[in-house]
Structure 1
Amino acid sequence: MPASPRRTPLSWIVLGTVTVASLTLAACSDANTSDSGGGAESDADAADLAPGGDLVIGVTSDPDTLYPWRATQFQAVNVLGNIYGTLTELDENLEVTPGLAESWDVSDDGLTVTFHLREGVTFADGSTFGSEDVVHSLETILDEETAAVARSSLARVETVTAVDETTVEVALSSPDASLFANLATVNMAMLSSDDTEDDLNTTPNGTGPFAFDERVPNQSISLARNDAYWGDPALLDTVEFRVIPDESSIVSSLQAGNVQMAVFDDPLVADTAAGADVTVTETPQLSYHVLQLNARRGPLSDVNVRLAIQCGIDRQQLLDTAALGEGEITGPITSPAYRSDPNARPCPERDVERAQEYLAQADVETPVVIETIVSQGEYATSVNEAQNLKAQLEEVGIVLELDQLESGAFVDRWIAADFDAAVALNGGRPEPDGMYGRYFTSDGNLNEVAGYSSPELDELFAQGLQATDEDERKGIYDDVARHLEDNAAWVWLFTGYTYTATHNTLHGFVPMANGSLQYLRTAGFTG
């Protein structure tokens, strides 16, 4: 379905600038950029944007946590990404750039990384950021008791040593080509060594362009400009994330001027938002819609049942029904440099007869009943997707029993792997190990959630981390995708778009393909 002429597309060409080399050890061994603190080219000249102003963003759900190391909900990640800093960052093209580390060096054997930290950086409470905070953060993320969702991204880290106040040395057990991209996520935020989880869930304390101001549970969370931020200070005085559960009410608030920004994933809602005073920008996303299968539970432990599900789904019908056809059918890896071929799977098109053949080979009673959790509120298409999947699979002899949950309850069940299947929207990443290593390796900290691992995948992921040649890495991750598809570990469906609606007085915000709202720091109002 063609995009509405009322929306402004942000082309896939932007993503095409991402190169494998920008994510490898070799390319990052001598990183240096200006101390601008990021900032993409604005849609209005920066000189035209007046400092000050209060931005209200309409959102459908409240963050379920304010502790960055455990944040998985999109809303929590978006809020915390503006409060906390990371050692590295991703720019608008998803290329790795310096963050709290202004440069780094890598030894010839790839086993030692030395980070050179920015001087004069402070946390929101006024305390100084330094090497002891980096050591504390990385070691605490590595501690299993922390239950950090990105722990597996540091699996090759053996020791973290503070050489001096602004220098940190990280020793690796083997080269890790994914390290620098993985360090750029808010799940790797650098926290003060003086803070506790209880402290931060009440009052976040970061080094980002905004500082936590106030929270009214289930109503709003407000941030204020951090005047001590190490980069260019934000233009906006405050940013309020206002909880408005109904998207049509967010649209009304946008059109009335009470809300100046919102991000939708439903193209129909986006079309209703566009108008004389509101512009909607369409951005393709790395995030992917997926039916997650727990291969360690009940009938799903039989690969034939999983393959029957995979072959019984018409992905294009699902995309047309749930998202008006706006998106692309996808395989496991959505990163442009490693993108999977969606045709390289059993049953690239729906094949009910083959699905039934797989089911007949399985040692299960039919109809097969699969308890399936569905999130309500975090993204708009979830319930429609679930109902369409249910209708399609009933023709095969598989019944999805849908359990619709509010966002927080869904995340709790998901983290606990308390489901047979889950209709999910997962965030994609430019680096495939960061995207899937924590899920599909035997020692991955989210492997229980993924519900599948194998010695072959363990070996492939290990090879991918050590390889630096672009073609070699692409081949390795093609093999990863093929194994996941051939075993129907999950059933990958489609990638979609986000639709960023902004009042026409707001400029300078750059939507990103990973869904980050980090460019709120360059946004401002015209005078």
Structure 2
Amino acid sequence: MSTARRASYGAMTATGIALALVLTGCTTPTSTPDATETAAAGGDLVIGVTSDPDTLFPWKATQFQAVNVLQNLYGTLTEFDADLNVVPGLAESWDVSEDGLTVTFTLRKGVTFADGSTFGAEDVKFSLDAIAAEATAAVARSSLASVAAVEATDEHTVTLTLKAPDAALPANLAVINMAMLSSDDTEEALNTTPNGTGPFVLDARKPSQSITLAKNDEYWGDTALLDTVEFRVIPDESSIVSAMQSGNVQFAVFNDPLVAQTAEGANVTVATTPQLSYHALQLNAARGGALADVNVRLAMQCAIDRQEVLDTAALGEGEVTGPITSPAYKSDPDARPCATKDLDKAAEYLKKAGMADGVTINAIVSQGEYATSVNEAQNLKAQLADAKINLELEVLESGAFVDRWIAADFEAAVALNGGRPDPDGMYGRYFTSTGNLNKVAGYSSPELDALFAQGRESSDPAERKKIYAEISENLEDNAAWIWLFTSYTYTATASTVDGYVPMANGSLQFLRTTSIK
């Protein structure tokens, strides 16, 4: 992919993002692309995807395909604009007390759910209380760790009382796992019939074939221009390219740069967008066995040439990364034991672990959720073999992988994880002892618990940057996971598609501004 065609996601400066995420009052209107007067309303867009959503319940969605659908059906209190600044969503403003311990949200009036019922403060209280409840098993529960109480002050006002100041809270509230649901709904009902406040509503679903959304004429913001958006399941990215070339599909997001190159032509353009998401070999030390020994994990880290993984799996389209990809807090990719491949050092670590003759590690791999997974896994296997580390691969379809991953039923996992503008939301739920995904992460420590608490409580961008650098160092020095690289998404659109804005967090939220010419 030529450098000239790489489209950045906006002016995401480190200082700008840091300041945007500090917990302060906000009354700025939501920043979205302007719908031009000449944009044509109406039309049906078909998006090619490789997997069917594994859930329609936003509080438990981790699969990228599910998140992409749900972002267009549900609303959150805050949102990200095109440059990943935090802006108002269902809350039109919020105010913070001087001590940082009280946050008051003023809700938009006239907002309704898809079933016609009115959105209000009781729905916010219900949603936040339920997300925070351990029994719900919400994947973003830890993002509300600082919240002591939620009060529906009146119909359009919600007051959060915090245990400590939380600079990450506005950004954490903007992800779809924090969607606001009706207090009358249940998980069982919503998995069949979503009931959100988003720009689209569910129109039809054919399991394993397609899911179709229709524009929500009662949406509180600008009404979507498209009549319908169909997410059509097509087994692999190359088949999606064929469907685009024949005119049956008008939109797709590819992970494989080679596929993206074949897609571009007279009637299809491709926008290349750097992503906050990161590729990693996740190591579940808490499971026991060989990975419980830090020396084994460090041996694996030293045996891997991350640039080789990137070159093999993604044609070098991306960057070697450390743990944190958030622009204001980005990790130094060389700040780790064995910044480059060192087989002698790997052998030393295995000897310290008493495994000089080698070790076998089982790893799960997803097939279908993103295109480069199997190639990554095979390259990792080949490299680790040079260090007498046998990586046994178990390739699973997307839904089965997610189920095993959520249950922490793995020794190692070849994974693509979504990044976030704020590192607390990115990692607080994984690497703190009380994090609701700590079982998946397989690693925590008292030192990390203290550092994450400091990162949330500070509103000073420079201080937060220092804290998250220490967190990154801790994770790397203990080889909690092996961070590999960040890459790009390649958004392919037919020449008839206009107004779509790709984002660095992978969100498809700007389908609301997309039109068919």
Kindly indicate whether the alpha-carbon contact (under 8 Å) linking 1:265 and 1:498 is maintained by their aligned counterparts in 2: yes
Cα separation, 1, equivalents of 2:380 and 2:54: 27
Cα separation, 1, equivalents of 2:8 and 2:58: 30
Cα separation, 2, equivalents of 1:392 and 1:382: 16
In the alignment, what sits opposite 1:19? 17
1:47 to 37, 41, 64: 37
How high is the TM-score relative to the length of structure 2?
0.98
Aligned residue pairs: how many?
A: 515
Describe how 1:108-507 pairs up with structure 2 within 5 A: 108-296=98-286, 297-364=288-355, 366-507=357-498
Cα separation, 2, equivalents of 1:259 and 1:522: 18
Q: Any idea what SS the aligned residue of 2:37 has? A: helix
Shift of 1:505: 1.0
Deviations 1:287-336 (A, max 9, x none): 00000001122100000000000000001111000000000000000010
Deviations 1:53-86 (A, max 9, x none): 0000000000000000000000000000000000
In the alignment, what sits opposite 1:10? 7
Q: Any idea what SS the aligned residue of 2:191 has? A: helix
In the alignment, what sits opposite 1:513? 504
Cα separation, 2, equivalents of 1:133 and 1:364: 55
Shift of 1:247: 1.4
Cα separation, 2, equivalents of 1:38 and 1:222: 27
Cα separation, 1, equivalents of 2:137 and 2:300: 32
In the alignment, what sits opposite 2:27? 32
Shift of 1:39: 2.1
Cα separation, 2, equivalents of 1:258 and 1:447: 43
Cα separation, 2, equivalents of 1:175 and 1:197: 31
Cα separation, 1, equivalents of 2:366 and 2:482: 17
* Amino acid across the alignment from 2:32: G
Cα separation, 2, equivalents of 1:281 and 1:490: 31
Cα separation, 1, equivalents of 2:391 and 2:417: 20
In the alignment, what sits opposite 1:65? 55
Describe how 1:99-114 pairs up with structure 2 within 5 A: 99-114=89-104
Kindly indicate whether the alpha-carbon contact (under 8 Å) linking 2:347 and 2:356 is maintained by their aligned counterparts in 1: no
Cα separation, 1, equivalents of 2:243 and 2:495: 14
Kindly indicate whether the alpha-carbon contact (under 8 Å) linking 1:4 and 1:271 is maintained by their aligned counterparts in 2: no
In the alignment, what sits opposite 1:524? 515
Shift of 1:365: 6.7
Cα separation, 1, equivalents of 2:113 and 2:38: 30
Cα separation, 2, equivalents of 1:451 and 1:469: 30
Q: Any idea what SS the aligned residue of 1:224 has? A: strand
Q: Any idea what SS the aligned residue of 1:193 has? A: coil
> Alignment RMSD, CA only?
1.1
Greater alpha carbon shift after TM alignment, 232-241 vs 46-55 = 46-55
Cα separation, 1, equivalents of 2:332 and 2:34: 32
Kindly indicate whether the alpha-carbon contact (under 8 Å) linking 2:9 and 2:503 is maintained by their aligned counterparts in 1: no
Q: Any idea what SS the aligned residue of 2:363 has? A: strand
Q: Any idea what SS the aligned residue of 2:332 has? A: coil
Cα separation, 2, equivalents of 1:94 and 1:335: 10
Deviations 1:259-289 (A, max 9, x none): 0000000000000000000000000000000
Q: Any idea what SS the aligned residue of 1:50 has? A: coil
Shift of 1:16: 2.5
Q: Any idea what SS the aligned residue of 1:458 has? A: helix
How high is the TM-score relative to the length of structure 1?
0.96
Q: Which 5+ residue runs of structure 1 have no aligned equivalent?
A: none
Shift of 1:246: 1.9
Kindly indicate whether the alpha-carbon contact (under 8 Å) linking 1:287 and 1:426 is maintained by their aligned counterparts in 2: yes
Kindly indicate whether the alpha-carbon contact (under 8 Å) linking 2:127 and 2:180 is maintained by their aligned counterparts in 1: yes
Cα separation, 2, equivalents of 1:197 and 1:55: 28
* Amino acid across the alignment from 2:18: V
Cα separation, 2, equivalents of 1:364 and 1:391: 19
Shift of 1:397: 1.0
Greater alpha carbon shift after TM alignment, 184-193 vs 15-24 = 15-24
Kindly indicate whether the alpha-carbon contact (under 8 Å) linking 1:366 and 1:398 is maintained by their aligned counterparts in 2: no
Shift of 1:495: 0.1
Shift of 1:51: 0.3
Cα separation, 2, equivalents of 1:468 and 1:103: 19
Cα separation, 2, equivalents of 1:91 and 1:114: 21
Deviations 1:132-173 (A, max 9, x none): 000000000011110000000000111000110000000000
Deviations 1:444-489 (A, max 9, x none): 0000000000000000000001111111100000000000000000
Shift of 1:13: 5.5
Cα separation, 2, equivalents of 1:412 and 1:248: 26
Kindly indicate whether the alpha-carbon contact (under 8 Å) linking 2:350 and 2:356 is maintained by their aligned counterparts in 1: no
Cα separation, 1, equivalents of 2:256 and 2:127: 37
Kindly indicate whether the alpha-carbon contact (under 8 Å) linking 2:17 and 2:421 is maintained by their aligned counterparts in 1: no
Cα separation, 2, equivalents of 1:124 and 1:98: 20
* Amino acid across the alignment from 2:289: G
Shift of 1:361: 0.5
% identical equivalent positions: 70
Shift of 1:38: 4.7
Kindly indicate whether the alpha-carbon contact (under 8 Å) linking 1:39 and 1:521 is maintained by their aligned counterparts in 2: no
Cα separation, 2, equivalents of 1:468 and 1:326: 35
Cα separation, 2, equivalents of 1:177 and 1:231: 27
Kindly indicate whether the alpha-carbon contact (under 8 Å) linking 1:289 and 1:495 is maintained by their aligned counterparts in 2: yes
Q: Any idea what SS the aligned residue of 1:119 has? A: coil
